[in-house]
C-alpha cells in the first residue's frame, strides 16, 4: 500500500480530532519510528509503499480513540532528552520545560562555592524534571520522590536511558514520616497535582481518558493540598537560602503567593509562561 494513500487515510480519519498539520506530523513520526522512513524520503519519492501496514494502521485506530501519540510510541522528548512514557506517568509538557529552565537560570547565578547541590523533585512521574537537572548540573545530587511505584519504575528506566544517577524514593509527601528521612536540600521542585475537579470539563479527552488522574486532580475544596504539604516539608528541609520552585494552576497564582508567604518564604516570584499564563512560582527560604 502506498504511503501517500495511508497519509490520506490518516487525514480522513483524524480530521475531527487534530488539525491537518498535526495529523501530518503524527503520520511522519509513526513512519520514522516504525519503518525508518523520513518525511524527506517520502517527499522525494511519493510512490513509496509498505509491505506490512499492520503497525501504522493499529496506531491509527488508537489515535482515533484519542490515545496520545506519546503513549503509542512509548516515548517523548523533553528538554532535548528522550524519555520513556506510559499510562502510569504524565506526558512531559513545554511549560514544565520552562520551569526547569528557570531553575537552571537560577543555578547559573550562584557563586562557585554552591556548585554541589542537593535537589529534590516531588511527584517525579517520568523523572523528566529530576533527570534533566541531573544531566544539566552534573555535580548535583538529585532525589526523585513519587507515591507511585509504577511511575518510579519508568523514572528509573529514564535515568538509565539518559545516563544519570538519580535516587528514587517511593513515598507520599502527604505522609511526612517517610519523606522526613531525606537529607536537607538546596532546591525543592515540584509539578504536583493541581487541576481542580471542576476544571475537568476544560480538558481534552486525550488527556482526560489516558493520563493518570492520580497525578492530575485535586478536590475543589482543597486545591493547594500538595503545595501546602510541600511547603511544610520545605520549611524543615530546605537549607538556608534554598529555593522552592513550583509549576502551578494558572488560576491560583495569588493564593500560591500567600501560601509561600505564610510559610515565611522570601523573594517570592510569580512567573508567566510563553502563553502569558501564571504557571510558575519561586520562593527562597
Binding region for substrate: 191-194
The annotation places the binding site for S-adenosyl-L-methionine at 123-127, 146, 191
The 3-state secondary structure of the chain reads CEHHHHHHHHHHHHCCCCCHHHHHHHHHHHHHHHHCCCHHHHHHCCCCECCCCHHHHHHHHHHHCCCCHHHHHCEEEECCEEEECCCCCCCCCHHHHHHHHHHHHHHHCCCHHHCCCEEEEECCCCCHHHHHHHHHCCCCEEEEEECCHHHHHHHHHHHHHCCCCEEEEECCCCCHHHHCCCCCEEEEEECCCCEEHHHHHHCCHHHHCCCCHHHCEECCCCCCHHHHHHHHHHHHHEEEEEEEEEECCCCCHHHHHHHHHHCCCEEEEEEECCCCCEEEEEEEC
The answer to whether 188 and 226 are in contact (CB under 8 A) is no
Residue 36 — left, alpha, or beta (φ > 0 → left; ψ -120 to 50 → alpha)? Answer: left
Q: Which of 178, 175, 185 shows the shortest CA–CA distance to 143?
A: 185
73 backbone φψ class: left, alpha, beta (φ>0; ψ -120 to 50): alpha
First to last CA, the chain: 62
- From the annotation, which residues make up the binding site? 123-127, 146, 191-194
Amino acid at each position: 500500500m502506498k504511503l501517500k494513500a495511508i497519509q490520506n487515510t490518516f487525514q480522513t480519519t483524524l480530521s475531527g480530532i487534530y488539525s491537518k498539520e498535526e495529523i501530518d506530523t503524527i503520520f511522519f513520526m509513526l513512519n520514522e519510528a516504525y519503518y525508518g522512513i523520513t518525511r524527506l524520503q517520502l517527499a522525494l519519492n511519493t510512490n513509496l509503499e509498505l509491505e506490512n501496514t499492520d503497525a501504522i494502521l493499529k496506531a491509527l485506530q488508537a489515535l482515533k480513540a484519542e490515545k496520545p501519540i506519546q503513549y503509542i510510541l512509548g516515548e517523548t522528548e523533553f528538554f532535548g532528552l528522550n524519555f520513556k512514557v506510559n499510562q502510569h506517568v504524565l506526558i512531559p509538557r513545554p511549560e514544565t520545560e520552562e520551569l526547569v529552565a528557570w531553575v537552571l537560570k537560577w543555578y547559573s547565578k550562584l557563586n562557585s562555592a554552591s556548585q554541589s547541590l542537593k535537589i529534590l523533585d516531588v511527584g517525579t512521574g517520568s523523572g523528566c524534571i529530576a533527570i534533566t537537572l541531573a544531566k544539566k548540573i552534573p555535580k548535583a545530587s538529585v532525589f526523585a520522590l513519587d507515591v507511585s511505584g509504577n511511575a518510579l519504575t519508568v523514572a528509573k528506566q529514564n535515568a538509565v536511558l539518559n545516563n544519570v544517577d538519580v535516587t528514587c524514593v517511593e513515598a507520599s509527601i502527604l505522609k511526612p514520616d517517610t519523606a522526613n528521612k531525606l537529607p536537607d536540600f538546596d532546591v525543592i521542585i515540584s509539578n504536583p497535582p493541581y487541576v481542580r475537579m471542576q476544571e475537568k470539563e476544560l480538558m481534552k479527552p486525550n488527556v482526560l481518558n489516558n493520563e493518570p488522574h492520580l497525578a492530575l486532580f485535586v478536590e475543589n475544596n482543597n486545591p493547594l493540598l500538595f503545595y501546602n504539604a510541600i511547603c511544610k516539608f520545605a520549611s524543615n528541609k530546605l537549607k538556608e537560602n534554598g529555593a522552592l520552585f513550583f509549576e502551578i494552576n494558572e488560576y491560583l497564582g495569588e493564593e500560591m503567593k500567600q501560601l509561600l508567604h505564610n510559610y515565611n518564604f522570601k523573594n517570592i516570584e510569580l512567573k508567566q509562561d510563553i502563553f502569558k499564563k501564571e504557571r510558575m512560582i519561586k520562593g527562597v527560604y
